[in-house]
């Protein structure tokens, strides 16, 4: 009898482990949860700082790496469409102007939470070229189910060089 229960527990733990690894979700850094948040003020995102509109989209950093900056807000992602080269690590920095939202890349097990007053950062590499929807995966109000962005992954040679000051987006559809 005891053995049976042990086996059941093992199965349950295994199932739980499987479930939890299916979706790789990037949440806030621990220091923010502990109350140390010093992220951008959601009310002034568009006025100054890293998340002004002219700084959103993909940028090439001085070290040659790529960073995508995005804002989530009811009920759009800004920019609505992002274009990235394939097979290169892309660093994302996202924040929210209002509620908690979550970028989820459809068909991939990636998720990225956008939280007001904080910047969530993660680096993803997109192995294959193509178009992917980015639905919001966190209930954020009545418009939640229509909130989606788009990701275009293009091969590296189809991605023209970016000047340091340049930011690139694609056309929303
Ligand atoms: Cu944004 Cu749901």
Helix locations, 23-137, DSSP H: 30-31
Distance CA 161, CA 141 (A): 39
Confidence of residue 141 (pLDDT cuts 50, 70, 90): very high
Cα–ligand 1 centroid distance for 61 (angstroms): 29
Cα–ligand 1 centroid distance for 107 (angstroms): 18
Task: List CB contacts of 154: < 8 A, sequence separation 6 or more.
Answer: 83, 84, 85, 86, 129
CA dihedral 125, 29, 93, 76 (to 10 degrees): 100
Question: Residues 14, 20: contact at Cβ < 8 Å?
Answer: no
pLDDT at 110: 81
Q: Is the CB of 140 under 6 A from ligand 1?
A: yes
Tokens of 97: 């102007």
Confidence of residue 20 (pLDDT cuts 50, 70, 90): very low
Q: For residue 6, is pLDDT > 80?
A: no
Q: For residue 18, is pLDDT > 90?
A: no
Mean pLDDT computed over every residue of the chain? 85
Task: List CB contacts of 8: < 8 A, sequence separation 6 or more.
Answer: none
Cα–ligand 1 centroid distance for 161 (angstroms): 33
Q: For residue 153, is pLDDT > 50?
A: yes
Q: Which of 12-16, 18-22, 166-170 has the lowest mean pLDDT?
A: 18-22
pLDDT at 21: 44
pLDDT tens, residue by residue, 42-85: 999 989 899 999 999 999 998 989 999 999 999 999 999 999 99
Closest CA to 37 of 120, 111, 94, 98: 120
Q: For residue 173, is pLDDT > 60?
A: yes
The protein residue whose alpha carbon is closest to atom 1 in ligand 1 is: 101
pLDDT at 152: 95
Q: Is the CB of 144 under 6 A from ligand 1?
A: yes
CA-based angle 13:16:18, to the nearest 5? 110
Strands 120-125 and 89-96, by their bridges, are antiparallel
DSSP letter (8 states) at residue 86: T
Please give the average per-residue pLDDT across 96-110, as a whole number: 90
Q: For residue 29, is pLDDT > 60?
A: no
Question: Residues 101, 147: contact at Cβ < 8 Å?
Answer: yes
């Amino acid at each position: 009898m005891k053995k049976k229960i042990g086996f059941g527990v093992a199965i349950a733990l295994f199932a739980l482990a499987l479930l939890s690894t299916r979706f790789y979700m990037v949440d806030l850094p621990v220091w923010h949860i502990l109350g140390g948040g010093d992220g951008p003020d959601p009310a002034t995102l568009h006025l100054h700082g890293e998340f002004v509109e002219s700084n959103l989209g993909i940028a090439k950093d001085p070290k040659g790496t790529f960073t995508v900056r995005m804002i989530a807000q009811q009920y759009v992602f800004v920019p609505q469409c992002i274009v990235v080269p394939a097979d290169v690590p892309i660093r994302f920095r996202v924040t929210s102007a209002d509620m908690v939202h979550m970028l989820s890349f459809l068909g991939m097990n990636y998720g990225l939470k956008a939280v007001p007053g904080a910047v969530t950062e993660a680096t993803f590499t997109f192995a294959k070229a193509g178009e992917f929807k980015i639905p919001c995966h966190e209930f954020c109000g009545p418009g939640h189910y229509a909130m989606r962005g788009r990701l275009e992954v293009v091969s590296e040679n189809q991605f023209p060089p970016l000047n340091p000051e340049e930011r690139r987006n694609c056309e929303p559809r």
